[in-house]
Chain A
Amino acid sequence: MAHSVDRILTTHVGSLVRPPELAEFYRRMQDGETYDESAYAECLRASVAQVVRKQAQTGIDIVSDGEYGKTQTWSRYVMDRLNGFEFRLLRPGEKPSAGAASLTGRDRETFPEFYAEWDKTQQGVSLRAPGRWVCTAPISYKGQALVGRDIDNLKQGLRKANIDSGFLPVVAPGSVVPERKEEHYADDEAYTFAVAEALRSEYRAIVDAGLTLQVDDAHLPFAFERMVPPGTLADYRKWAEMRLTALNHALEGIPEERTRYHICWGSWSGPHSADVPLRNIVDLVMQVRVGGYLIEGANARHEHEWRVWEKVKLPEGSVLIPGVVSHHTNVVEHPELVAERLVRLARLVGRENVIGGTDCGFAQGPLVRRVHPTVMWAKLDALVEGARIATQELWGRKST
């Protein structure tokens, strides 16, 4: 894992707003319209090259493909790559499950009027096919060609932009259809480990190609507000622990320094009043055997949690990648605020162990925009500038 050896490095969580010409292909796919497959492939390749170049120009050190190759959300894209699942429409009166369609949770129950209004303003979050994925057969991996394409596109983009650090975000086992019903597998554990086993092929392909693997697990923190109450924190932790054991199983044999793990509390810009505190889960998160941890830290619900690191020790050799800019507000972070957020963490965990990041991605599905792309790029500019100021403060000199 790259460390901030002589300056604060920068990265982000992965997804970036798709350009309109690429988004149009995804809209057609979503609406079941026909499209030209080779034109799509070409558009995807060119768009990835372009977004890699733009990240490099912005000054982001460790760049992604913007998750441009994903046909569905950050977690559901994997349905194109796994055998064993089928999609079923909801029966009347049936509630959608997490990861399937529109979400429910304690925050939504507390703020129903807000959500009723806000949902209508959200573009690209499709509620068109309210349904859920059901596992009906043994799970296995079939995504070799798709992940291969994503790897090639990103590597090509890196070469063209003349940079060498790229990461590809993929889903964690615990975030793949986290709430099962009518399953092929006997229990949650058998199911989750089967998913983990299958996902290992995807994880390995990325690392074998020389890229950094990022495992995304937003459902891990989010599950709390769906379980508690009536469940307890202990129930939830037990639930989470099994998922993380499965993740570690999937990561077996993969060098830690080539991997990083992202958690967030869900990227929708709601109140987030029921988010589980980081201090209640940080020990579990640190059990994941990776070289870097990407955790929200730039929004009003989690900004104070940098203090968690006053007591918790970061595993030896790993880096912390806090969110220092957020998709939760249109206001572009002042670079001095970004610097302040980085410096206070650097003082706790060591400057070489901090990389500047974002709270979450900016587009969790092919048509989603959490902020307008012009605001997104301004935020990435602020991130880079803030890291420069922090470097100056932490190393007592200007970075090059």
Chain B
Amino acid sequence: MGQKVNLTMKRSTARILTTHAGVLAGPPEFADIDLQVRTGKPYDMQTYEALRRSSIVKTVRRQAEVGIDIVSDGELGKSRGYPYYSQRITGIEQRALKPGEVPVTVRRSREREAFGEFYEYLQKIDTRLAVPPGTRLICNGPLVHKGLGKLQDELDTFRAALAGVKAEEAFFPVIAPGWLDHFMFNEHYPSDEAFIFAIAEILRPEYKGVVDAGFLLQVDDPGLPDAWPTFIPAPSIEEYRRYAAIRIEALNYALEGIPEAKVRYHVCWGSHHGPHTEDIPLKHIVDLMLKVRAQAYSLEAANARHEHEWKLWREVKLPEGKILIPGVVSHATNVIEHPEVVADRIVRYAGVVGRENVIAGSDCGMGGRVHPQIGWAKLRALSEGAAIASRELWPS
């Protein structure tokens, strides 16, 4: 690849482009077998693989149909558990929880303490919620990557699915070091820092693999904000920023050598349907976010806890050449955003950072958090709203 090509990723030069945060609902026929695989139950490999591929084809086409410009593979077949990671790295194990342990960090938080009854109730009524497993994923040896075979297969599947589909660009999400440690607990490395950098080391080839394959890399990092409520009692903002800074440094290490124009960075405050009253305000972490070697930053902006944060960009300057991807539709409500609501949100951001620096996105992934019918209708509302905003921002 030449050095001078792609100094920028595609941006909203003549109209507002649309994208989303990555996870989408696959077709219904994929859901059952996917659950088997995710939860480590026996399944027929051949059936699964065939269904995964055909489902990704359908999911990519459907994004184009509803007017999404920058598409993903829907992250079908990805998960964050042992069955998924054990195929990629060594040095990990799944073990039974000891008394008082949680399977993932976000299962214990100041918000869960403040809203204990609510969470019990939610677990009862929300049929989509997985029952928390009695196990956790641990790192109990040196982390070593097993090779990129699995990733290559995912990338090849995505590329094949893109054939003949009209899309401006394609992105592929991979987890950030500072998020993987929400699901994988250190029982081997001598310090938090050593552990995070070891994770960065194994993610590095994945990041490079995605970009080498010609895709935009999206680094998913809900961890940057959503670790905040998991510290009990609440740390000071400064203490938290130190914790977060290590993770940003490790991420930048893993991104070394990759052009910024190939990277977008996604942060959110956790996609769970909770009150989010303990979410750390964006203003406390925005400078850390902007340190990440990425051209675009995707962040929540369409739910009731973060919608007002567009105002922050009056004070914080988006660095030259960078792009914001605010969420303008959200998984936090079944109500489908009115396209005019979407347009209002886009225009507000365009007003503070410039229309060419805004790509319209979603708060977080739609898959699993709302019914598939709703998720897709929201993406359509997103593209309809972007069209309205484009007419307003580029008056002919």
A residues in contact (CB < 8 Å) with B: 111, 113-114, 117-118, 120-121, 123, 269-273, 298-304, 325-326, 328-334, 336-337, 339-340, 372-375, 378
Contacts of B303 in A (CB 8 A): 329, 331
| Nearest Cβ on chain B to A127's Cβ, whole angstroms | 16
Cβ 8 A contact of B305, one of A117, A299, A334: A334
Contacts of A269 in B (CB 8 A): 333-335
| Nearest Cβ on chain A to B380's Cβ, whole angstroms | 10
Residue of A nearest to B373 (CB): A114
CA distance A373 to B125 in the complex (A): 14
A331 adjacent to B341 (CB under 8 Å): no
Asked if B338 lies at the interface with its beta carbon under 8 angstroms from chain A, I say yes
CA distance A111 to B376 in the complex (A): 11
A270 adjacent to B121 (CB under 8 Å): no
A332 adjacent to B307 (CB under 8 Å): no
| Nearest Cβ on chain B to A234's Cβ, whole angstroms | 23
Mark each residue of chain B from 322 to 354: 1 if its CB lies under 8 Å from any CB of chain A, else 0.
Answer: 000000011011111110110110000000000
Given A120-B127, A121-B127, CB of A372 within 8 Å of CB of B374: no
| Nearest Cβ on chain B to A11's Cβ, whole angstroms | 19
Cβ 8 A contact of B335, one of A118, A328, A336: A328
* 12 A-B interface contacts by CB (under 8 A): A271-B373, A301-B335, A303-B338, A304-B341, A326-B304, A328-B335, A329-B273, A329-B335, A331-B333, A337-B304, A340-B308, A378-B115
Mark each residue of chain B from 49 to 60: 1 if its CB lies under 8 Å from any CB of chain A, else 0.
Answer: 000000000000
Name the prevailing secondary structure of the A interface residues.
loop
Residue of A nearest to B28 (CB): A113
Contacts of B29 in A (CB 8 A): none
Asked if B377 lies at the interface with its beta carbon under 8 angstroms from chain A, I say yes
Cβ 8 A contact of B275, one of A111, A123, A332: A332
Mark each residue of chain B from 120 to 160: 1 if its CB lies under 8 Å from any CB of chain A, else 0.
Answer: 01100111000000000000000000000000000000000
Cβ 8 A contact of B126, one of A121, A272, A340: A121
Contacts of B336 in A (CB 8 A): 271-273, 300-301
Cβ 8 A contact of B334, one of A113, A118, A333, A372: A118
A301 adjacent to B341 (CB under 8 Å): yes
Mark each residue of chain B from 235 to 277: 1 if its CB lies under 8 Å from any CB of chain A, else 0.
Answer: 0000000000000000000000000000000000000011111
Given A269-B333, A300-B336, A329-B332, CB of A375 within 8 Å of CB of B307: no
Asked if B284 lies at the interface with its beta carbon under 8 angstroms from chain A, I say no
| Nearest Cβ on chain A to B53's Cβ, whole angstroms | 24
Chain B, range 348-391, C-beta contacts under 8 Å to A: 371-374, 377
Residue of A nearest to B127 (CB): A121
CA distance A302 to B125 in the complex (A): 27
B306 adjacent to A375 (CB under 8 Å): no
B371 adjacent to A114 (CB under 8 Å): yes
Asked if B231 lies at the interface with its beta carbon under 8 angstroms from chain A, I say no
Contacts of B377 in A (CB 8 A): 111, 271, 273
Cβ 8 A contact of A300, one of B115, B341, B373: B341
| Nearest Cβ on chain B to A145's Cβ, whole angstroms | 35
Contacts of B308 in A (CB 8 A): 334, 336-337, 339-340
B118 adjacent to A374 (CB under 8 Å): yes
| Nearest Cβ on chain B to A90's Cβ, whole angstroms | 27
CA distance A165 to B293 in the complex (A): 56
Contacts of B311 in A (CB 8 A): 336, 340
CA distance A301 to B338 in the complex (A): 5
CA distance A118 to B373 in the complex (A): 12
B307 adjacent to A299 (CB under 8 Å): no
B residues in contact (CB < 8 Å) with A: 115, 117-118, 121-122, 125-127, 273-277, 302-308, 311, 329-330, 332-338, 340-341, 343-344, 371-374, 377
CA distance A54 to B273 in the complex (A): 26
Contacts of A111 in B (CB 8 A): 371, 373-374, 377
A271 adjacent to B374 (CB under 8 Å): yes
Given A273-B377, A374-B117, A375-B115, CB of A300 within 8 Å of CB of B338: yes
Contacts of A299 in B (CB 8 A): 333, 335
B115 adjacent to A329 (CB under 8 Å): no
Contacts of A303 in B (CB 8 A): 338, 341, 344
Cβ 8 A contact of B330, one of A121, A271, A272, A300: A300
CA distance A252 to B37 in the complex (A): 66
| Nearest Cβ on chain B to A5's Cβ, whole angstroms | 26
| Nearest Cβ on chain A to B378's Cβ, whole angstroms | 9
CA distance A331 to B279 in the complex (A): 11
| Nearest Cβ on chain A to B302's Cβ, whole angstroms | 8
Contacts of A270 in B (CB 8 A): 334-335
Given A120-B127, A121-B126, A372-B117, CB of A328 within 8 Å of CB of B373: no
CA distance A303 to B344 in the complex (A): 10
| Nearest Cβ on chain B to A201's Cβ, whole angstroms | 37
B335 adjacent to A300 (CB under 8 Å): yes
B304 adjacent to A331 (CB under 8 Å): yes
A331 adjacent to B338 (CB under 8 Å): no
Contacts of B305 in A (CB 8 A): 331-334, 337
Cβ 8 A contact of A331, one of B122, B276, B334: B276
Contacts of A336 in B (CB 8 A): 308, 311
Contacts of A302 in B (CB 8 A): 338
B307 adjacent to A334 (CB under 8 Å): yes
B275 adjacent to A375 (CB under 8 Å): yes
CA distance A247 to B311 in the complex (A): 43
Contacts of B277 in A (CB 8 A): 332, 378
| Nearest Cβ on chain A to B329's Cβ, whole angstroms | 8
Residue of B nearest to A324 (CB): B304
CA distance A118 to B305 in the complex (A): 24
Cβ 8 A contact of A328, one of B118, B307, B334, B343: B334
| Nearest Cβ on chain B to A165's Cβ, whole angstroms | 27
CA distance A118 to B128 in the complex (A): 10
| Nearest Cβ on chain A to B280's Cβ, whole angstroms | 12
Contacts of A339 in B (CB 8 A): 308
For the complex with contacts A300-B302, A300-B341, 9 further pairs of A-B residues with Cβ separation under 8 Å are A111-B377, A123-B125, A271-B334, A273-B336, A300-B333, A329-B304, A331-B303, A374-B117, A375-B275
Contacts of B374 in A (CB 8 A): 111, 114, 271
Given A111-B373, A117-B127, CB of A329 within 8 Å of CB of B121: no
| Nearest Cβ on chain B to A175's Cβ, whole angstroms | 21
Residue of B nearest to A303 (CB): B341
A117 adjacent to B371 (CB under 8 Å): yes
